Amino acid sequence: MFSTSLLVLTSNDRQGKRYTVFFSLLFVVLFILLMLVRDVSAPNDFGNYTIMYEQINSFSDVWVAYHKNYTFSFLQYLGSVIGLSSEQFHTIFSLIISLLVYRAFHLLFEDKKYALIAFALFLLSSTFIFLYANVLRQGLALSLMMLSSAYYWKRKRFSFLAFSVLAFFAHFSAILFFIAVVLAKWLPLRKAIGTFHLILLPLLPIIGYLLIDVVGVASLLQSVEKYSNYDYSSKVFYVKLVVSYLFLVSLFILNKNKYVAQSNENLVEKYTYIYSIYGYLIAASFSLLSIPLMSARVHYFSNALMPMLAVTFLFSSFKLRFEFKIAIVVVVAAAVGMVSYFYPSSASQLGVYGQ
């Protein structure tokens, strides 16, 4: 998968363009094979999803869904009506909702080449593994909100609201993504607002702790309180959160110093929009650090935007030679891919190895 991703990247150079279609198709085939040959029963949550799936015997059962996740429950109902087994349904389900992310990339980029590169980088991430192999309800919510954000950018308000509602009833955390999208459009993180946001971010864990634990906001929401009762001690998450913050700061400084080409106003606005969604989602993760598990779940949302930011920044607007851009992406993709696919806790979710 990683090697083919690199071939997709390098084939987009002028001299290798004639190979782009071939390597793109090869990449898609390998992606589909990965989703089909993995052990769909390996992830931690598969047992719970199977119980939910087998309990849906009629349409009325959809409305007694776990955590009111009606969107996910309805799709399970359709699988049951067709006659699919739990393994068959969740295999097909994971494949389809993963491809919705590519569709969102394509809507935002309006360019198949950039969308495919971003999707290749996305598939190398731990976000892809955890949300599309294990935490399927949140994976569905992410895909729907990615589409929602694309339609909001295109000013298709009905589609934006429709996909947002479906996302919320797939996983309640989608409301934070929704808020980030709206804020990104009406309060973009640039100039003074962007600077203030970066300065405020390190203080948000303290503010969040005061609101959630001292004031007692968590107790007002059953779902939030449920997450606060889980023990979560992943040190890797905190490292990833720091890396995300540094990534956010770096992009802001480079953009502020006008390394981004300003000739294409639409491109600049689109980049700012994606950057702002990412920034607001990082802020949500920081604010929820007193509930580590929930903070980590929200962080998966922001991670999904990193490939778009990287591609938009490097391949569309950053003033560097194409070969140097490729070198940067190769190094980053290799590091991310190696960690994602060989780190035991994430690799085991695929069931191919690492169990």
For the chain, domain boundaries: 1-171+347-355, 174-319
DSSP state of 211: I
Q: Are 77 and 21 in contact (CB under 8 A)?
A: no
> By the 8 A CB rule, do 234 and 313 touch?
no
Q: Is the distance from CB of 274 to CB of 308 less than 8 angstroms?
A: yes
Q: What is the pLDDT of residue 80?
A: 92
The neighbouring-strand residues paired with 260 are 318
349 near 35, Cβ under 8 Å? no
pLDDT of residue 355: 47
**CA-based angle 97:99:103, to the nearest 5?**
115
- For residue 108 the two structure tokens come to 């935002």
- List, for the chain, all residue ranges whose pLDDT scores fall below the cut of 70: 1-24, 213-234, 256-266, 315-320, 322-323, 352-355
Q: What global pTM score does this model have?
A: 0.88
List, for residues 121-165, the tens digit of each pLDDT value. 898 888 998 899 889 999 999 999 999 999 999 999 999 999 999
